[in-house]
């Protein structure tokens, strides 16, 4: 029987490493080890053109941690569907959630097969997590996937995370797709979104353009547009704001945000009972 805990051969057989992927380029931005030359080249190219891009990726990870702490703590959520979860990195969703609720269950979903390979290697033997390879643009497939339904009881409140993910969904697709996920959630559930934002700064649109050109999808949205993806869910304080301003651990002056801190916004909203 194969031992899942062994790290996969590197690069894993059958994996096309000649072209960058979103997950691996983001891993390269974060300084991780799950990437290849093409991904590092793209990450470096994007950093040369977008001031503060690396910092923005790190900010996104930080708000992910603060958001999960709110969800697993104050909001009492014990099941998480992490859509576009990315490659394993420091402070994965299950680790942050379990620090507050040891029984937290997590379904990780990502389109990149390397996420499944690396995730399983790390999570083998953990019966309260699953890693599924699927396209978030197909909500029916994701929501009915046997590994997802084994892990998540959609009749109970859950957190659905689209963290660093919404900007890879084109405008035509994002509306109905996010609505389908909202509809599948029980009252008391939460939706957690972070996204590349468009507040009129050239770097935001340039990042969307570079991402679209090199990775196929990349869309910056206005704060109002991001807010609309929450539908009739109730935004928790402080609403949709730059990630560094979403419940920061210490005081942050909105006037002092760096260019990197002005690339993304975050928000969490709750489905009414």
Report, in Å, the least distance between residue 43 CB and ligand SAM.
Answer: 11
DSSP string over 170-215: -HHHHHHHHHHHHHHSPTT-EEEEEEEB-SS-HHHHHHHHHHHHHH
Q: Which is nearer to ligand SAM, 50 or 255 (CB)?
A: 50
- Could you tell me which residues come within 8 angstroms of residue 32 by beta carbon, excluding any fewer than 6 positions away? 87, 89
Which of the residues 165 through 224 are near ligand SAM (CB under 6 A)?
Answer: 165, 168
38 Cβ contact partners less than 8 Å away, ≥ 6 residues apart: 17, 18, 19, 20
Residue 34 in contact with ligand SAM, rule: CB under 6 A: no
Ramachandran class of 244: left when φ > 0, alpha when ψ lies in -120 to 50, beta otherwise: alpha
Rounded to whole angstroms, the Cα distance separating 179 from 197 reads 20
- Complex with ligand SAM: residue 86 or 260, whichever CB lies closer: 86
Q: Does 39 bind ligand SAM (CB under 6 A)?
A: no
As measured in angstroms, the least distance from the Cβ of 272 to ligand SAM is: 26
Choose one: 9-17, 162-170, 200-208, 239-247; the region binding ligand SAM (CB under 6 A).
162-170
How many residues at the interface with ligand SAM, by CB under 6 A? 19
Instruction: State yes or no: residue 71 binds ligand SAM (CB under 6 A).
Output: no
Q: Is 60 in the site for ligand SAM (CB under 6 A)?
A: yes
Interaction mask 98-137, ligand SAM, x per CB under 6 A: ------------xxx----------------------xxx
Closer to ligand SAM at the Cβ: 75 or 193? 193
User: Does the protein bind ligand SAM through residue 23 (CB under 6 A)?
Assistant: yes
Structure tokens at 184: 């599948």
Cα three-residue angle 154-158-159, rounded to 5 degrees: 135
């Amino acid at each position: 029987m194969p031992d899942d805990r062994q790290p996969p051969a590197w690069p894993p057989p059958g994996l096309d490493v000649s072209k960058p992927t979103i997950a691996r380029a983001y891993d390269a931005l974060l300084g991780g080890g799950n990437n290849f030359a093409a991904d590092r080249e793209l990450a470096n190219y994007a950093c040369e053109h977008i001031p503060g891009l690396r910092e923005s990726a790190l900010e996104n990870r930080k708000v992910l941690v603060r958001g999960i702490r709110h969800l697993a703590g104050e909001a009492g959520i014990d099941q998480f569907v992490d859509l576009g979860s990315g490659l394993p990195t420091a402070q994965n969703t299950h680790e942050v959630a379990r620090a507050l609720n040891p029984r937290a269950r997590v379904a990780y979903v990502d389109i990149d097969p390397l996420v499944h390979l690396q995730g399983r290697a790390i999570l083998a033997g953990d019966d309260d997590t699953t890693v599924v390879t699927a396209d978030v643009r197909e909500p029916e497939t994701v929501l009915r996937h046997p590994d997802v339904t084994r892990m998540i009881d959609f009749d109970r409140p859950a957190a659905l995370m689209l963290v660093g993910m919404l900007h890879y969904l084109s405008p035509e697709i994002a509306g109905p797709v996010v609505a389908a996920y909202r509809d599948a959630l029980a009252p008391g559930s939460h939706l957690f979104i972070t996204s590349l934002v468009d507040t009129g700064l050239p770097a935001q649109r340039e990042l969307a353009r570079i991402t679209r050109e090199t990775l196929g999808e990349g869309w910056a949205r206005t704060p109002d547009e991001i807010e609309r993806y929450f539908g009739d869910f109730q935004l928790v304080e402080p609403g949709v704001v730059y990630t560094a301003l979403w419940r920061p651990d210490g005081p942050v002056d909105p006037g002092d945000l760096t260019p990197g801190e002005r690339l993304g916004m975050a928000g969490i909203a709750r489905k009414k009972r």
